Copies of this chain bind each other. A is one copy, B any other.
Amino acid sequence: MAEKWIGVVGGVGPFAGIDLLGKIAAQTVANQDQDHLTVLNWSQPAKVVDRTEYLLGEVEENPAVALAAQVQQLAKMGAGVVGIPCNTAHAPRIFNQIRAELAAANCDVTLLHMIEEVGRFLQTHLPEVTQVGVLSTTGTYRAGVYVDVLGELGFTAVLPPLTLQTEKIHPAIYDPEYGIKACGVATAEAKANLQEGIVTLKTAGAEAIILGCTELPLAFTKPTAAGLPLIDPTLILARALIREANPTKSKEVIE
């Protein structure tokens, strides 16, 4: 089977896109440059309205239109399998529209669904877990993205109380002064907010924590927090993209 080229919609957000590219390279079996897969990245963030603002009704334009256009650009360049490293973009109101736009354009690229990949990962690698805590933007939170997708796979999603969500978790990502999107790194204040979120989710019964916004893995260097395994959807998406492009290039163990 011919190797597929990987396409990445890299601007949502830019640091998350770069994190995905890094994880694709790190998870690829390679001893030299030439062993790495072909990866195309289309990062055009100015064209894509904020996914959370759309879900919360603050802007009318569905970001799906621009995202679908960028997936099509990647397909035109030769990508055979594409990933979008943005959890909020996987809310049904956005992701179903992307799929509809691609179908209308007869674009037959394989577009992976990051959240479904996370669900399958949990079934395979953490079969004893049933209650899964989710840290995310308020857009993902309100859209119930993880609640629905994980629910269909037999998991119960555990979310923070609304005030903790809006006053601590969302700002850890979005605050213009200390948020990860603005700073490109996790500040001490962002980390403290997230730690409080994890402890709260653990008390509420969570047995694992999904870092359900692609900026969040930037805040953690260890595989666990408060004794719970941390699940990184970006890493899972990276491995899924390699699997679809050429499964023989996928490292057997997560590194």
A68 to chain B, nearest CB (A): 17
Number of interface residues of A (CB under 8 A): 38
Name the B residues within 8 Å of A36 (CB-CB).
Answer: 11, 13-14, 43, 45-46
A48→B36 CA distance, assembly (Å) = 11
Residue pair B10, A18 in contact (C-beta under 8 Å): no
| Residue in A30, A31, A43 whose Cβ sees the most chain B Cβ within 10 Å | A43
A201 to chain B, nearest CB (A): 26
A83→B191 CA distance, assembly (Å) = 35
Name the B residues within 8 Å of A22 (CB-CB).
Answer: 15, 18
Asked if A40 meets B38 with Cβ closer than 8 Å, knowing A25-B15, A25-B18, the reply is: no
A36→B44 CA distance, assembly (Å) = 8
Name the B residues within 8 Å of A228 (CB-CB).
Answer: none
| Residue in A30, A32, A33, A42 whose Cβ sees the most chain B Cβ within 10 Å | A33
Residue A56, interface by CB 8 Å: no
Residue A73, interface by CB 8 Å: yes
Asked if A14 meets B25 with Cβ closer than 8 Å, knowing A34-B45, A40-B42, A40-B43, the reply is: yes
Residue A231, interface by CB 8 Å: no
A39→B41 CA distance, assembly (Å) = 8
Residue pair A41, B44 in contact (C-beta under 8 Å): no
Name the B residues within 8 Å of A49 (CB-CB).
Answer: 34
Name the B residues within 8 Å of A40 (CB-CB).
Answer: 40-43
Residue A206, interface by CB 8 Å: no
A231 to chain B, nearest CB (A): 22
A26→B44 CA distance, assembly (Å) = 16
A13 to chain B, nearest CB (A): 4
Closest 4 CB pairs of A and B: A41-B41, A13-B33, A33-B45, A38-B44
